């Protein structure tokens, strides 16, 4: 019963903070709400007895990703007026075609993931005794076998976000 109360309380907090992240007028306040949201998600992982995920949530998201967001907020001048002209070098059609290609690729990944059977090593891992098989081993095994493509997609998205922040900062310095 106490676990259910903690779960539902944290769920309401997470949803409320997510709404505050999107609706906050001040960007720094939005990032602060995001940090608190990530910490509540880590607490939810602790309630669900996934301690390793809770630690990774705090280290990677509440630590690293939010610091990246804060750097972007500090480097980009948000008080500046919007640009009055359209860039003639902008390739809108090419962007639309590339976005469609990425969408088709993601649809192919989803179809492939649901159509195949679980991998053989994962089925063999279930025969390992419960005292040897822990949270970290299960997460690592799944991350690098069945969820390798989403893991790599997330890393590419983070790389693109970092390159975008650098480009925005470089344009501001010129």
Spatial distance between the Cα atoms of 49 and 44, rounded to a whole number of angstroms? 9
Spatial distance between the Cα atoms of 9 and 88, rounded to a whole number of angstroms? 51
- pTM beyond 0.75: no
Q: pLDDT tens across 80-137, in order?
A: 665 666 666 777 788 888 889 888 988 888 888 788 766 555 555 444 345 446 677 7
Residue 128 per-residue DSSP state? S
Q: pLDDT tens across 2-35, in order?
A: 888 999 999 999 999 999 999 998 888 888 899 8
Task: State the average pLDDT over residues 68-86.
Answer: 68
Angle at alpha carbon of residue 89, lines to 87 and 93, rounded to 5°: 100
The third-level CATH classification (topology) of the domain covering 1-75 is: 1.20.120
Burial 66-79 (b: 16+ CB within 10 A, else e): beebbebeeeeeee
Q: What pLDDT, on a 0 to 100 scale, did the predictor assign at position 77? A: 60
The structural domains of the chain, with segments of one domain joined by +, span 1-75, 105-174
Kindly indicate the confidence band of residue 154, based on its pLDDT and cuts at 50, 70 and 90. confident
Spatial distance between the Cα atoms of 161 and 76, rounded to a whole number of angstroms? 13
Cα-only R_g, the chain: 21
């Amino acid at each position: 019963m106490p676990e259910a109360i903690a779960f539902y309380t944290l769920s309401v907090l997470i949803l409320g903070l997510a709404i505050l992240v999107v609706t906050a007028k001040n960007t720094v306040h939005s990032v602060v709400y995001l940090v608190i949201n990530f910490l509540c998600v880590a607490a939810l992982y602790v309630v669900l007895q996934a301690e390793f995920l809770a630690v990774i949530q705090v280290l990677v998201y509440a630590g690293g990703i939010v610091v990246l967001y804060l750097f972007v907020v500090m480097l980009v001048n948000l008080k500046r007026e919007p640009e009055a002209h359209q860039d003639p070098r902008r390739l809108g059609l090419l962007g639309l075609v590339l976005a469609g290609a990425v969408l088709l690729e993601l649809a192919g990944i989803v179809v492939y993931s649901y159509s195949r059977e679980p991998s053989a090593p994962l089925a063999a891992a279930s025969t390992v005794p419960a005292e040897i098989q822990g949270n970290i081993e299960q997460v690592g095994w799944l991350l690098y076998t069945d969820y390798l493509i989403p893991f790599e997609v997330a890393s590419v998205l983070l790389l693109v976000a970092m390159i975008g922040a650098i480009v925005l900062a470089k344009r501001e310095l010129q």
